[in-house]
Chains A and B, each alone.
Chain A
Amino acid sequence: MSQHTITVDTKTVQLDYILRMADNAMILGQRLSEWCGHGPILEQDIAITNIALDLIGQARNLYQYAAELEGNGKTEDDYPFLRDVTDFKNVLLVEQPNGNWGQTLMRQFLYDTFNYYFYSAMQNSTDERLAAIAEKSLKEIKYHMRYSSEWVVRLGDGTEESHQKMQDALSDLWMYTGELTKPDKLDEQMASSGIGVDLKSIQAQWQKKVDEVLERATLKKPESNWMQSGGKQGKHGEHLGYMLADMQFMQRTYPNMEW
């Protein structure tokens, strides 16, 4: 009996953890897809929507796995399209609005760098499925990090105006970076079971890489180290609700519709 209880509990915890990862990829992918048709030039429009599709593909792999774990006839579409705001467990950084091109790329850079070290470590997960998804995703993420880092340097170390815009973007977004590498109870539980990533172990790597790129971009981190958090626990800012209203419109208006 107790054996059974533990198994069920582990499964629920693991499911929550996978949904966090999936929601991060989904929400950022959806955000980036808002650039489709609006990119500053054709080539960059294609580049950014390409990254959006990579992320949505990663989200799909994880949602499919979650649906299999949960059973009960769940499908990958149920998670993005039929859950409410508080059920989403993505970090606050990825739901922030696109703003201008520089803000989008700053958000992307801060996240890509985390994502890169996170998935690098995830390759060693004792969960073979997660390890395989990580290995596959990592090739895409490596390119994302290269792309967004170059843009941060290009604009940060660009003209006076582009520098100022990037500095503003960094100052606005910095407070959302804390929860990326700060473990909560679920993170710790998953790390100690060998399934998840020990966030403390990637904190220094993330910091080092970010510092390196920001220095090349001649940008300065804000002096205040106060961090906003709550996304991983389902406490989101106002922006996510509007975004979901857009993303979920079809399924909410025409339940069960397919194409």
Chain B
Amino acid sequence: MKNWPLWEVFIRSKQGLNHKHVGSLHAANAEMAIENARDVYTRRKEGVSIWVVESVHITANNPEEHDELFEPASDKVYRHPTFYDLPDEVKHM
């Protein structure tokens, strides 16, 4: 059981929302991963749908690349739609 692969768990909390990453767990296969996820992450009614994916299949960016990947976006405030005068009639913007 120590050799069981790691799985990442994604839960949809209710219809219409996205699946969100909630954590990871060990399981022998996908079927068991779903069942373990059900017991570990949804027993307090947290979900209506479960996705699992073996952790090795996830490609992540290298944290050392942080500056070149994310820094350039930090001084481009014009990408946020905050430069418009909104008529008073428009609510919830």
Q: Does B39 contact A (CB under 8 A)?
A: yes
What's the minimum C-beta distance from B13 to chain A, rounded to whole angstroms?
20
Residues of B within 8 Å of A40, CB to CB, are 1
Q: Does B84 contact A (CB under 8 A)?
A: no
Residues of A within 8 Å of B40, CB to CB, are 43, 46
Question: Can you list, as one digit per residue, whether each of B9-50 has a CB less than 8 Å from chain A (1) or not (0)?
Answer: 000000000000000011110011001100110010000000
Q: Assess A150 versus B36: contact at CB under 8 Å? Given A41-B4, A41-B26, A43-B25.
A: no
Q: Does A64 contact B (CB under 8 A)?
A: no
Q: Does A81 contact B (CB under 8 A)?
A: no
Q: Assess A50 versus B43: contact at CB under 8 Å? Given A41-B26, A154-B28.
A: yes
Q: Does A47 contact B (CB under 8 A)?
A: yes
Please count the residue pairs between chain A and chain B whose beta carbons lie under 8 angstroms apart in the complex. 27
Closest to A151 in B: B32
> How far, in angstroms, from A49 to B17 measured CA to CA in the complex?
30
Q: Does A35 contact B (CB under 8 A)?
A: no
What's the minimum C-beta distance from B48 to chain A, rounded to whole angstroms?
15
Residues of A within 8 Å of B1, CB to CB, are 40-41
Residues of B within 8 Å of A43, CB to CB, are 25-27, 36, 39-40
Task: Identify 21 residue pairs between A and B in the complex whose beta-carbon atoms are under 8 Å apart, listed by A's number.
Answer: A41-B1, A41-B4, A41-B26, A42-B25, A43-B25, A43-B39, A43-B40, A44-B36, A46-B36, A46-B39, A46-B40, A47-B35, A47-B36, A47-B39, A50-B39, A146-B35, A147-B35, A150-B31, A150-B32, A150-B35, A154-B28
A: which residues have CB within 8 A of B? 40-44, 46-47, 50, 146-147, 150, 154
